[in-house]
Amino acid sequence: MLEQLQWVRVEPACIVDAGAGTGGARDELLRRFPKARVLSLDSSLGMLRAGAGERICGDMQQMPLADRCAELVLSNLALHWCPAIGAALAEFRRVLGSPGLLFFSMFGPDTLRELRRARSVAGFADEPETLLDMHHLGDALVRAGFADPVMSAERFPVPYADYAALEGDLRRCGASRAMMPRDAGLAGRGRRRAVQEAFESQRGSDGMVAVSIEVVYGQAWVAPPKGREEPAEVPLEEISLRSKAKPP
């Protein structure tokens, strides 16, 4: 996602990295924008403590930041953790000045479809889908007050030899909602085994299950209000005074 910043013209004085985690994007942002102030915001105090620079513990849906304090808000693979994505987009709009740029990525609805298929075969009724596709995200950006949204998506097949390896990765990245509920006792182990068997039945000729990861990218601008022009300042010494000409 950071590589795509080279295609946009922006020179931010302040950047908010929303959902920064341990601040992995900070060094690259400072390399691209050496004059900028980078604020790393995350709700996990533990992750922030592992990072460096200016760190703020807070929720993306209610950020402890002043209005119009930044020219660039960046959010990498974090928005899908928000129960109300619209509230987070409204907060991004609030802290962005004009002109300002929002640049984000998040998981799309095709992510982990092989796991969801296995859970369905095993008889699980999953929660309603919370991951938004590109079109719904574009509409949400406009409702939040952004202009000129641009959306794109990439799909990455990630091979897994078995269900246990996928389960371990999901646990380590905190994706507990995508995992099997931890039922106690023999019934819980039986339900887990049913998901495992349904998942591993999707192996290809190479013996691996290609798990889908869809990443949706979005960018949108905060434009100056229509009908309002910024006042121009002209030094007095640059104004040539002319005497009134006598009428003929």
Q: What is the CATH number of the domain that holds 177?
A: 3.40.50.150
**DSSP-based three-state secondary structure for 13:** coil
pLDDT of residue 176: 58
Q: HSE of 237 in the Cβ direction (CA atoms, 13 Å)?
A: 0
Contact 76, 201 (CB under 8 A): no
Q: How many CB atoms lie within 10 A of CB 120?
A: 13
Q: Is residue 107 part of a domain?
A: yes
Range of the structural domain that residue 143 is part of: 2-227
Look at the chain and report how many structural domains it folds into.
1
Q: What is the pLDDT along the chain (248 residues), one digit of tens a residue?
A: 888 888 888 899 999 999 999 999 999 999 999 999 999 999 999 999 999 999 999 999 999 999 999 999 999 999 988 888 999 999 999 999 998 999 999 999 899 999 989 988 888 776 555 677 788 898 999 999 999 999 999 999 999 999 999 989 988 877 755 555 455 444 567 888 999 999 999 999 999 999 999 999 999 999 766 654 445 555 555 544 444 445 55
- Note the pLDDT of residue 10: 85
Note whether residue 248 is domain-resident: no
Residue type, 34: P
Q: Are 151 and 134 a contacting pair, CB within 8 Å? A: yes
139 within some domain: yes
For residue 8, the tally of other CB atoms under 10 A from its CB is 12
Strands (E), 66-178: 70-76, 96-107, 147-160
Whole-model pTM above 0.95? no
- 234 within domain boundaries: no
Residue 101 lies in a domain: yes
Instruction: Kindly state whether residue 94 falls inside one of the protein's structural domains.
Output: yes
Q: Quick check: 5 and 73 in contact, CB under 8 A?
A: no
